[in-house]
């Protein structure tokens, strides 16, 4: 096991040694100016994701290990959307002045744990100083035939993995000054990138796929636009996280709308041929539930209904 090359003296290299020790088997060749990306079958796939303090997380909500896991899992979720096999991770960390050195090590321990959970290695990164914590994760992988948002066809079924709304339930609790229930907190702090499920679904005919980072209300629009189709979604079919009903009651919203407009679930939104009937097999093989929520039609945009009434959905809007 090689976790780091031999390093000289100095505070920066002491940090790198501490990080390499915390990463253990999840690290490979850390400390050089460049890193060798492991080879793999198929087309190389890359994505990058930034997680910034007080924008994507607050330190009073999460441990540093959870901050590292969550930042890495969100980037790995992009690889899942391509049905890619993760190979390597590069982590660039902005550390505030006078930050506790142990905090950096714990954050990187979380990065390493998330990498190890999908069989990837942390092969390098960068350390810099700034006004607040930021974690920028680059993930690299390979996919025999990468899936994308384009490819949905009229007549396809619309499906989602897992359950929706748990991350929003946790966020709503924290911003209301109460502690979220354990399941909601887990959904926010420890999302699971659907790598295995995505690969199974791609092998079973998925025509389009993306991850739900900005909420179903926003991401469905992106998939519809990329595929030049209309997505007709029955919100009554949404698989709701166990914490959603109580959180929706506090917010005075219908549970399905609460779940549809929450972001950072990191589940998969995908389309499959109309004849697909493998939801039970998907769960048996991958352990991930799969729920049909609608049908692709000709047209544009998203038509979402609840109790037969058309609803206006929204998701997270990125600043420009």
Predicted confidence at residue 3, as pLDDT, reads 44
The predicted-structure confidence for 261-278, as pLDDT tens digits, reads as follows 998 999 999 999 999 999
State the average pLDDT over residues 188-192.
97
Distance CA 259, CA 237 (A): 11
The predicted-structure confidence for 275-291, as pLDDT tens digits, reads as follows 999 999 999 999 999 99
Q: 305 exposed, middle or buried (CB, 10 Å; 0-12, 13-18, 19+)?
A: middle
CB 206 within 8 A of CB 199: no
What value does the mean pLDDT of the chain take? 91
Distance CA 70, CA 135 (A): 10
The predicted-structure confidence for 37-65, as pLDDT tens digits, reads as follows 888 899 999 999 999 999 999 999 999 99
Query: Band of the pLDDT at 14, cuts 50, 70, 90?
Result: low
Distance CA 81, CA 119 (A): 17
Residues in Cβ contact with 185 at an 8 Å cutoff, skipping those fewer than 6 apart: 170, 179
164 vs 1, 65, 121, 139, 268, CA distance in Å?
Answer: 39, 24, 29, 24, 10
80-94, 181-195, 256-270, 302-316 — which is least confidently predicted? 302-316
Predicted confidence at residue 35, as pLDDT, reads 80
Query: Band of the pLDDT at 20, cuts 50, 70, 90?
Result: low
Q: Which domains does the chain have, with CATH numbers?
A: 11-143 (3.30.1330.10), 157-311 (3.90.650.10)
User: Cα–chain-centroid distance for residue 86?
Assistant: 13
Predicted confidence at residue 7, as pLDDT, reads 47
The predicted-structure confidence for 218-240, as pLDDT tens digits, reads as follows 999 999 999 999 999 999 999 99
């Amino acid at each position: 096991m090689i976790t780091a090359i031999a390093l000289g003296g100095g505070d920066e290299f002491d940090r790198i040694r501490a990080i390499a020790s915390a990463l253990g088997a999840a690290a490979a060749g850390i400390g050089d100016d460049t890193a060798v990306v492991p080879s793999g079958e198929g087309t190389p796939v890359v994505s990058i994701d930034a997680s910034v303090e007080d924008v994507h997380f607050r330190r009073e909500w999460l441990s540093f290990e959870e901050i590292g896991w969550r930042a890495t899992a969100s980037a790995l979720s992009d690889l899942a959307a391509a049905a890619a096999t993760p190979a390597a991770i590069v982590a660039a960390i902005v550390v505030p002045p006078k930050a506790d050195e142990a905090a950096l090590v714990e954050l990187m321990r979380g990065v390493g744990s998330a990498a190890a959970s999908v069989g990837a290695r942390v092969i390098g990164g960068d350390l810099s100083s700034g006004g607040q914590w930021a974690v920028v994760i680059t993930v690299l992988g390979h996919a025999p035939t990468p899936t994308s948002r384009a490819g949905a066809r009229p007549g396809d079924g619309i499906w989602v993995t897992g359950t929706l709304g748990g991350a929003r339930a946790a966020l709503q609790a924290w911003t209301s000054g109460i502690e979220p229930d354990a399941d909601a907190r887990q959904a926010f702090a420890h999302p699971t990138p659907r790598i295995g499920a995505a690969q199974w679904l791609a092998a079973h005919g998925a025509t389009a796929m993306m991850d739900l980072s900005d909420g179903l209300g926003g991401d469905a629009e992106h998939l519809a636009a990329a595929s030049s189709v209309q997505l007709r979604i029955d919100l009554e079919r949404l698989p709701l996280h166990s914490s959603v009903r109580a959180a929706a009651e506090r917010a005075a919203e219908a549970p399905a709308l609460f779940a549809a407009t929450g972001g950072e679930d990191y589940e998969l939104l995908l389309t499959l041929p109309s004849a697909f009937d493998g939801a039970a097999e998907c769960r048996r093989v991958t352990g991930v539930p799969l729920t049909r929520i609608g049908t692709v039609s000709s047209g544009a945009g998203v038509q979402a209904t609840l109790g037969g009434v058309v609803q206006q959905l929204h998701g997270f809007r990125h600043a420009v």
